[in-house]
């Protein structure tokens, strides 16, 4: 079997972690975090830190998994090692049908929303044009990956740098601006006097930050390609996660240095554009908003890749519906065209559900941007427990300290998710889909090469 070359050093690995994690979430979750903490800037910052801790300590646990379980499919392979093939299959089925596809739908919507903001729309959240553009972006993402996976990969790399530009500029300049004009100090003074926020609202805010931090798990899949991975993977995950935390908190403080927290909550997703316009003027703000759009599209592209890869990886193991069909690779494009279609169909279904949530189809608003992440953190807890029981050779801190902190972070996220009124409806959907997935489970895995 051909193995991948050890080609990534420490700094390249750190850059990959940062590039994978940083995306659109921080742009449209900043106001949500404040709303969930009743406008308390201090509690909002604590929420961002707790979300980062769940990411950092979770990443350290998965770094150990990557060292001891030398396989290329990340969490699915770790789940198989821990609890067997059936459990691993259900994790893979969940990620393919109920995790990546709803997140890709959300990113298409976010990209469309900021595209309309770029062209002067004041309220693009639920406009008809937003949903049309979202559908176009979603379709374009799948077409791009089907016909030119190489170009899609290059686009992914290019957007990594672009993602950082608006975050760093707004963060640095906004903090300076806020200290000079007193807006940031006033926001902190108001926060210190705010009464009424509690652990429940803080936990809900942590759930909102978890969306912005999502993606860190993908970084563990590059283990086999990192030089001296035993040392460099944990370092890359730790340093990369801390860099993400600093960038996110810096951006959040930058926004709070320009606008009062009440205005950030009132403006919602438009807060970044208003802050950029205040700091840099119309032209520069337009350019920064364009960078935000490109950043969102880059994140969408990465999710589409996962939407295609996950059903294909199940199919080549003779699992899931129509495995021979979904595992078939098109000779011209070197892509599994039916897995592409599978991902597109489920992404479109979730985009429709997201549209329905905004238009009161279901009574409660179904938070597709958060509930799938809450459920995946719940799954991680089982792996953290197995880690403590299995990895007896590790020192006390690594064996118990790190996973316990990861569990605490995950439990806070799960608790915050349970408070969401729509989680019951989505859990029913999940149970039905998972039971349907069990119908397609096969005891024998047959790995095929499809070329």
Instruction: Kindly state the average pLDDT of the residues 306-327.
Output: 84
Q: What is the mean pLDDT of the chain?
A: 83
Give the pLDDT score at 77: 82
Instruction: Kindly state the average pLDDT of the residues 15-24.
Output: 75
Q: Residues with Cβ < 8 Å from 118, sequence gap 6 or more?
A: 286, 289, 290, 293
What top-level class would CATH report for the domain 10-439? Answer: mainly alpha
pLDDT tens digit sequence for 87-102: 988 988 998 888 889 9
Report d(CA 37, CA 201) in Å as an integer.
6
Task: Specify the range with the lowest mean pLDDT, choosing from 88-92, 222-226, 373-377.
Answer: 222-226
Q: Is the pLDDT of residue 332 over 70?
A: yes
Q: Is the pLDDT of residue 450 over 80?
A: no
Q: Is the pLDDT of residue 182 over 90?
A: no
Q: Which two tokens stand for residue 117?
A: 């903001």
pLDDT tens digit sequence for 55-85: 889 988 988 887 787 665 678 888 888 898 8
Nearest alpha carbon to residue 170 among 252, 293, 47: 252
Give the pLDDT score at 23: 73
Instruction: Kindly state the average pLDDT of the residues 276-283.
Output: 86
Q: Is the pLDDT of residue 157 over 70?
A: no
Burial of 69 (0-12, 13-18, 19+ CB in 10 A): middle
In the numeric block, the tokens 């959300």 are attached to 106
Q: Residues with Cβ < 8 Å from 125, sequence gap 6 or more?
A: 113, 268, 269, 358
pLDDT tens digit sequence for 281-306: 888 888 888 888 888 888 888 788 88
**431 vs 122, residue with greater confidence:** 431
pLDDT tens digit sequence for 377-417: 999 999 999 999 999 888 999 999 999 999 999 999 998 88
DSSP β-bridge partners for residue 226: 8
Q: Is the pLDDT of residue 107 over 50?
A: yes
Q: Is the pLDDT of residue 267 over 50?
A: yes
Report d(CA 55, CA 17) in Å as an integer.
11
Give the pLDDT score at 219: 63
Phi, psi of 69 (to 5 degrees): -120, 90
Give the pLDDT score at 448: 46
DSSP tag of 8: B
Give the pLDDT score at 377: 92
């Amino acid at each position: 079997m051909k193995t991948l070359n050890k080609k990534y050093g420490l700094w390249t690995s750190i850059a990959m972690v940062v590039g994978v994690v940083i995306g659109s979430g921080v742009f449209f979750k900043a106001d949500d975090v404040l709303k969930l903490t009743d406008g308390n800037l201090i509690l909002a910052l604590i929420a961002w830190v707790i979300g980062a801790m769940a990411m950092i300590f979770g990443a350290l646990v998965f770094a150990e998994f990557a060292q001891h379980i030398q396989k290329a499919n990340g969490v699915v392979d770790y789940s198989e090692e821990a609890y067997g093939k059936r459990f691993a299959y259900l994790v893979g089925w969940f990620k393919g049908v109920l995790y990546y596809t709803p997140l890709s739908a959300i990113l298409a919507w976010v990209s469309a929303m900021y595209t309309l903001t770029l062209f002067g729309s004041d309220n693009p959240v639920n406009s008809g044009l937003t949903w049309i553009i979202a559908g176009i972006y979603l379709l374009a993402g799948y077409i791009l990956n089907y016909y030119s996976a190489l170009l899609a990969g290059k686009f992914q790399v290019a957007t990594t740098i672009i993602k950082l530009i608006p975050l760093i500029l707004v963060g640095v300049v906004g903090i300076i601006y806020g200290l000079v004009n007193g807006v940031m100090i006033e926001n902190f003074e108001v926060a210190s006097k705010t009464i009424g926020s509690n652990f429940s609202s803080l936990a809900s805010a942590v759930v909102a930050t978890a969306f912005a931090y999502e993606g860190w798990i993908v970084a563990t899949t590059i283990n086999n390609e990192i030089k001296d991975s035993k040392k460099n993977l944990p370092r890359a995950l730790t340093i990369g996660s801390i860099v993400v935390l600093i960038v996110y908190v810096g951006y959040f403080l930058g926004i709070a240095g320009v606008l009062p927290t009440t205005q950030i909550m009132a403006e919602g997703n438009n807060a970044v554009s208003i802050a950029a316009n205040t700091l840099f003027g119309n032209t520069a703000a337009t350019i920064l908003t364009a960078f935000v759009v490109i950043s969102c599209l880059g994140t969408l592209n990465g999710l589409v890749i996962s939407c295609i890869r996950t059903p294909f990886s199940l199919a080549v193991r003779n699992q899931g519906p129509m495995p021979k069909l979904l595992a078939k690779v098109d000779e011209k494009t070197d892509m599994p065209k039916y897995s592409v279609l599978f991902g597109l169909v489920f992404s479109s279904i979730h985009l429709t559900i997201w549209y329905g949530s905004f238009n009161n189809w279901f009574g409660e608003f179904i938070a597709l941007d958060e509930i799938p992440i809450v459920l995946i953190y719940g799954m991680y807890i089982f792996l953290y427990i197995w880690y403590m029981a299995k990895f007896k050779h590790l020192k006390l801190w690594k064996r118990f300290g790190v996973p316990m902190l990861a569990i605490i972070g995950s439990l806070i996220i799960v608790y915050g998710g349970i408070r969401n009124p729509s989680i019951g409806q989505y859990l029913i959907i999940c149970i039905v889909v998972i039971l349907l997935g069990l119908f397609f489970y096969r005891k024998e895995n047959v790995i095929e090469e499809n070329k």
